[in-house]
Amino acid sequence: MDDACCSEEMATPPSLMHLCEHVLASLLNRDLGFWKQVQGLPLDVIHRVLLCLPPLTLLSLSNQHVSISGSHNEGENWHSTEMPSAQGNEFELLSSSSSQERRWKADSRRNDNGRCCKRKRAYTGPGGDLDSSTLDIGIPLAWKSLYRNRWPQRSRQSPSPEYDDSDCDKGEDNVDADWQQLYWEAHLQECLNAAAAQASVSSCECQIGDIMLPSDLVNKLSSSGREDNELSTLRGNCTHFAHYARKLRLQNVLCTPELVVLLKEAQLRSISIYNVRIRSDLTGLCQLLAHNMPTLQRLEFYHSKFSGSTLNKIGRAMCPANTEHHLQHFALISSRIFDQTDLFLVKPPDFLYFLCAARCLRSLRLWDNSLEQENVVFIMNIIFHFSKNFSFLHLVDNELGELFTRLLANTLVSSDPSNLEAPPGLHRLTVLDLRSNMLDGEAVRSLAMCLKKMPKLEHLNLSDNPLEDSGIKGLVPYFKALCNATSSLTILSLATCRMTASGATALLDALSLSQITIRRLSIASNHLGSSVSTSLAKFLRKCALEALDISDIGLGPTGCSIELEEAMISNKTILQFDISKNRISAPGAAMLASVIAAGHSAFTSINASANLLSVDSITSIATALQSQSYRQSAETITSLDLRENPGSFLCKLAGIYDHIGRCTVLLSDSSNEAQPVFHDDDP
């Protein structure tokens, strides 16, 4: 039995119980009929045996449990493979199975009868069958263990707090996640990735279903080491596991009519397509989209090239004339559109029909598309008028410029101040992301007119635009206007906007008004200097921030003033604080140490990397974390980043300060990372 199949690490010599559990798992792997001898063992032993089973054996046991208990989820068809109880290894069981319309979804809630904290004997019914509550607890835990052992990095990933437009499939983030479904979906995705890699470099004209998969990928399913079976091909994996797929990423090279047949049992809710080309054969792609439109909620295109006629073909496949669709999220990421003149003028304009029929659309992401300003405004106008639930708009890295905001204001906002009418979708917009669009001060003046028509706007991101102080000050009237009404704006990002201390002071003074509800603010990577310290302190005293990013603003040691220190101590709402890349050196370390030692703050994470902190400076911060006043508080800080500081590697080398109480201290792994490089004009 492969040790990776078991959740317990064998750093110490295995116990007799551990060896026995492996033997029992090995016997079950050979013959599921042995389960009748296992089911009378204590519940905790049974659960640990389940954790040692390979995926195919666990699948066989799961489906046999479904067949016996008859427990399946009503209202939704899930295909499951019913395994016979005859002897044979897992491949023979799988190949001899018959497909049926059934979904197994275990209820993982524990009750008093199924609790495994005590060594309690499993209850068996009159026929000798194991009580279903035992497997209802053990099998989901085993699938969860298999998933996290095989994809540990994926299990540790957390969604970004800034955008919440990905709710069609929470996957492993969902507390009620179906780990069996997630496991086979992720496995099928790896099979598709491997097949796409071979199809991209192979000149063979064989069918994609006959592509042989890497042996290490197949061997992860079983402990027998056999490779000569139907699961060695893409077709075999699609046949047995496609019905688990809800979310897939597909290379265009695989999007053929054959793939539509291979994935016919899937009920896809999210599809991401990569590398579509203008001259690509779109027959398979269009058939795939048309087949999944009844269940599809999210569609994304990455690194593709389209023409107007290409998009019209895709629009025709997804939404024939006089029909509607239920797509909620649509995205074109790093995908260029050429020949845009015929995008909406060609007869019939099928892509236009697709946009008009997007009544359920919630989010639109257009990133790095080289779209013409007129077409972007036209698309926005359609979405704002026809979509009933539109909330998230991301137009990123399109270099739209001042012409875009002027056209947008002329199209969506009336020049008559007394006319309050605007497209319905404009009033429902909650996220507006306009990063990297070459917006300057003139563009902001037109944009501010549109922002006033967005009463529900919660997140505004104008980072990476050359706004300068004139653009920042052009937003000040908008922020002041929010004070006279109920403000929904909670996240504001103005990083890398060529802002100076003058613009930052005007911005922070406007936001300091008590009615502003900003919770997350970023003014990072703007050369503000130490003079912004006074305005920043005033802002911290009046606003209930939860996250503040002032990295790389040139704060320096003189910017770490007593006034700023007192404001940070008095603020009891900030959870995440980023002051990295400011060269605050010893005075900055003293300020952070005083704030931490005061024990009044609510910080959970502090980023003080790249700040010229010496060993003594790091020691002063560590001493504050060990102070009695801080320990008597809630000890909220769980992460402290001190990397890329001169003293960081020396502390790492000495093996000190890695963990201080509940706080994890991040230190540099090498001296090259910790030492800043200085340059001068001397050759």
Alpha carbons 379 and 315: distance in angstroms, whole number: 14
Cα torsion 223, 224, 227, 230: sign = negative
Structure-token pair, residue 412: 């969506």
Average pLDDT over residues 43-48: 85
User: What digits encode the pLDDT tens for the residues 495-509?
Assistant: 999 999 999 999 999
Percent of the chain at pLDDT exceeding 70: 79
Question: What pLDDT score was predicted for residue 607?
Answer: 96
In the structure, what pLDDT confidence band is assigned to residue 615 with cuts at 50, 70 and 90? very high
Alpha carbons 636 and 599: distance in angstroms, whole number: 9
Question: What pLDDT score was predicted for residue 645?
Answer: 93
> Are 456 and 432 spatial neighbours (Cβ–Cβ below 8 Å)?
no
If one compares 108 and 463, the residue with the highest pLDDT of the two is 463
User: What digits encode the pLDDT tens for the residues 158-168?
Assistant: 444 444 455 44
Three-state secondary structure of 398-427 = CCCHHHHHHHHHHHHCCCCCCCCCCCHHHH
Cα torsion 468, 469, 474, 477: sign = positive
Separation in Å, CA 216 to CA 114, 176, 194, 213: 37, 31, 11, 9
Structure-token pair, residue 292: 């999944």
- Answer whether residue 80 shows pLDDT above 60: no
Average pLDDT over residues 403-408: 92
Q: Which of 327, 300, 318 is nearest to 386 (CA)?
A: 327
Question: What pLDDT score was predicted for residue 206?
Answer: 76
- Of these ranges, 68-77, 81-90, 227-236, 304-313, the one predicted with the greatest mean pLDDT is 304-313
Question: What pLDDT score was predicted for residue 494?
Answer: 97
Beta bridge partners of 233: 212
Instruction: Indicate the pairing of strand 459-461 with strand 270-274.
Output: unpaired
Amino acid (one-letter) located at 536: L
Mean pLDDT computed over every residue of the chain: 81
Alpha-carbon dihedral of residues 227, 229, 233, 235, nearest 10 degrees? -160
Calculate ∠ Cα 317-319-320, nearest 5°: 80
Question: What pLDDT score was predicted for residue 114?
Answer: 37
The alpha carbon of residue 640 and the mean position of all alpha carbons in its chain are separated, in whole angstroms, by 23
φ/ψ of 40, rounded to 5, equals -90, 0
- Answer whether residue 104 shows pLDDT above 80: no
Of the listed ranges 129-133, 576-580, 588-592, 600-604, the least confidently predicted one is 129-133
Q: Is 35 helix (H, G, I), strand (E, B) or coil?
A: helix
Instruction: Indicate the pairing of strand 363-367 with strand 392-396.
Output: parallel
In the structure, what pLDDT confidence band is assigned to residue 132 with cuts at 50, 70 and 90? low
User: What digits encode the pLDDT tens for the residues 351-392?
Assistant: 888 999 989 999 999 999 888 898 899 999 999 999 989 999
Of the listed ranges 500-514, 603-617, 658-672, the least confidently predicted one is 658-672
Average pLDDT over residues 607-618: 94
- Answer whether residue 530 shows pLDDT above 70: yes
The alpha carbon of residue 157 and the mean position of all alpha carbons in its chain are separated, in whole angstroms, by 7
Percent of the chain at pLDDT exceeding 90: 47
Domain parsing of the chain, residue ranges: 3-153, 573-583+594-683
> Are 148 and 155 spatial neighbours (Cβ–Cβ below 8 Å)?
yes
Alpha carbons 620 and 645: distance in angstroms, whole number: 14
Residues in the chain: 683
Question: What pLDDT score was predicted for residue 175?
Answer: 56
Question: What pLDDT score was predicted for residue 157?
Answer: 53
Structure-token pair, residue 302: 């990455």
Q: What is the DSSP string of 211-222?
A: PBPPHHHHHTT-
Q: What is the DSSP string of 162-174?
A: S----TT--GGGS
User: What digits encode the pLDDT tens for the residues 326-350?
Assistant: 999 999 999 988 877 767 776 778 8
In the structure, what pLDDT confidence band is assigned to residue 155 with cuts at 50, 70 and 90? low
Tell me 299's DSSP state: E
Question: What pLDDT score was predicted for residue 75?
Answer: 36
In the structure, what pLDDT confidence band is assigned to residue 554 with cuts at 50, 70 and 90? very high
Tell me 136's DSSP state: H
Of the listed ranges 129-133, 520-524, 583-587, the least confidently predicted one is 129-133
Alpha carbons 386 and 401: distance in angstroms, whole number: 26
Average pLDDT over residues 620-642: 88
In the structure, what pLDDT confidence band is assigned to residue 127 with cuts at 50, 70 and 90? very low
Question: What pLDDT score was predicted for residue 654?
Answer: 79
Question: What pLDDT score was predicted for residue 484?
Answer: 60
Question: What pLDDT score was predicted for residue 371?
Answer: 87
